[in-house]
Every structure is written in structure tokens, then in C-alpha cells.
Amino acid sequence: MSTQRIFNFSAGPSMLPLPVLEKAASELTNYSGSGMSVMEMSHRSKAYKDIFDETKALMREVLSVPDTHEIIFMQGGATGQFAAVAMNLMGDGGCADYAVTGNFSGLAAKEAEKYGKVHICADTSPKKHTYIPRQEDLDLSPDASYLHYCANNTIYGTEWDYVPAANCPVVADMSSNILSKPVDIAAHGVIYAGVQKNMAPAGMAAVIIDRSLLGREMPITPTILSYRTTVEKDSMYNTPPTYNIYILGLTLKWVKEMGGLSGMEELRELRSGMLYDYLDNSSLFSGCAEAGSRSKMNVTFRTASPELDAKFVKEAAARGLVSLAGHRIVGGMRASIYNAMPPEGVRKLVDFMGEFELHNR
């Protein structure tokens, strides 16, 4: 079995920073002299409460979360938030605007339809979700309880380069680009993110919510999905995902050491720039997303045939460049280049693409 670490381009669960993994490994069986793993600790113990409080404080600091907003951790990932957002914000008999720019925003809209009226204020499916609508393209409702958008679309490789404005709270699914650049938290009523792409292992959602939106949940809302209850109980209404929160804390420390969100933004520009520069000058590979809407987290591309795509993915894996197959919905290739992907990984990918192109013209 190889001990060499590979370059993992998976869309999620995705690679974590090596220093985070090494730190977690060193503390796996004995955290800070406690004689036990974090996974074994009571969530009510002082040792774990210190971890929890530090992680929340780091998240507030790194993301510049204003005092108007609360930070909570909930199980069920981002998919659980599809229901939680609607049940907490839509109100009985209410409606909400959804911008459908990819698979997950579409799933979020369908889930919300169970609890009230959903108005699709933008739908990019006629053009196969290859672009992001502009503000003037949004058909916003005058009576919407909130506007929901997915900030980065992992499957189709598009990303919003602005925060949509509305006369209601704005809700963002930032699962695949949170911590990659500075974010205007105050412009959002709710930001939620499944942590398995840029933050921690799969199984948890980090949620940032404007305190003024608490207490609006429908009577049918399960207590475990109530934002108000989760805030009141400091994310400990039930046993929280303790190890996820611990790893998130280590990741936030790493982000801070790497220059914070501005440092992460420089790296994302470097990584995506190398890959898009190659695609724009290639005669074999072509990018899938429109130039003005390209994601800097998930780069989608393809060759002229599915057979050649499959050959590329197989040969890349043999070089230690893994998980490059596109999502089953769209095919082609996808390179997910989240925070933990070192620039060296993208350089090796681009070098291999050049070699592959030379031999497969």
C-alpha cells in the first residue's frame, strides 16, 4: 500500500489541509493530555467546551461575522438546511424566491415547495446551467419571505461573483466556496454550508444567521431543525458532531496562519488561473461554463468524446491525480480545487493535460 499522498480533486468529501490532518493524528488517542480522543469526550465536559468555544470564536474572527449574526452547527449537512431554511423563514402560507442555477439549488427549491409557495426567480437550465444570471435578470417577488441562491455550483462549475439584492433576507448555500474569499456576511440573513468541502469531514452544516430572523419557524418545524432552539442551546440541544467541530477549529487555525480569507483568495486565483489559462489555449480540452460565470472552486471541462474523457480520467488517476470524473449528470471532467489543494497539484494536472493533449490529438 502506497504511503504517498495523492492530489484529490474530489468535489466532496474533499481533501483537508495536511497540517490539519497531522495535528488531528497526533491528538487522536490523547487530546492535550486528557488521556482520550476528542471523539470520546462528553460534549458537556470542560475540555470539549473549550474546543467548541474556540472554534466558534475563530469562525467569527476569520469570516468577520458581525455581532448581529449567530453561529450554529447542525447535523444533516447542507441538504438538511434545504428544509430548515424553509421551515424557519417562509412562514405559514408564505412564499420564497429561489434562483435555480444548478442541481442543488433546484433540490433546495423542490424541498421548500413542501412548506409553502416557491417562485423561481431565475432558471438557468435552458442553457444547461452554464452561466449565472445578473441582478437585472432576477424576477423577484414583492412579497417573498427570502431569496435563496447557491453561491457556487459544484456540478456545473459556475459561481456567483456578486451577492444578489432583494427586499427580503438573502439566504446563501456556500457549501463549496465558504472560507475561500472574503464574504459580506451582513448582506445575508442566513449563510449555510455543508462542511465537507472546505472545512471539515462530512456530516455537519455550519450556519450563520441574523438574530432578527429567529423565532419565525412554522409550528411543524422539528425541534432539531429550529434555528431559535439551536441558538438558545448553543448548538447542543442534542449531542453535536463533536469531531467535525474540532476539525473545523483546526482548519480555521490553518486558514488564519495562511493569511486568512485574503490569503485563501490569492491561492484560489492562482489555482483557477493556471487551469483556465490552459483550457483557454487548448485545442483538445474545452471549459463548460461561460467565461464570466466560471467557478474558481470547481473547474468543469471535457474533450470531444466521452471515450476520450474516460481515458483522460483513468490515466490521470495512474499519475496520482484522482477524482477528476465529472458528475454523472453532466459527464466530462471536473477539478475541484478547494482551499486545501496546493498549487503544486494544479501544476501537475496542467502538465499532465499538456502531455495527454500531445498524444491524443
The residue extents of the domains of the chain are 21-257, 260-359
Q: How confident is the model at residue 107 (pLDDT cuts 50, 70, 90)?
A: very high
Fold of 260-359: Aspartate Aminotransferase, domain 1 (3.90.1150)
User: Does 260-359 match 21-257 at the fold level?
Assistant: no
Return the amino acid letter for 155: I
Q: How confident is the model at residue 1 (pLDDT cuts 50, 70, 90)?
A: very low
Q: 145 CB contacts (<8 Å, ≥6 apart)?
A: 89, 90, 91, 94, 95, 96, 116, 168, 169
Residue 307: strand, helix, or coil? helix
Question: What pLDDT score does 361 carry?
Answer: 82
Q: 2 CB contacts (<8 Å, ≥6 apart)?
A: none
Rounded Cα distance between 143 and 122, Å, is 16
Question: What pLDDT score does 322 carry?
Answer: 97
Residues 282-309 have pLDDT tens digits of 999 999 999 999 999 999 999 999 999 9
Please report, rounded to a whole number, the percentage of residues in the chain having pLDDT higher than 90: 97
- Whether the per-residue pLDDT at 334 is higher than 80: the answer is yes
Q: What is the mean pLDDT of residues 234-257?
A: 97
- Which class in CATH covers the domain with range 21-257? alpha beta
Q: How confident is the model at residue 220 (pLDDT cuts 50, 70, 90)?
A: very high
> Is residue 70 classed exposed, middle or buried when 0-12, 13-18 and 19+ CB atoms within 10 A define those classes?
buried
Task: Give the residue carrying C-alpha cell 496520482.
Answer: 320
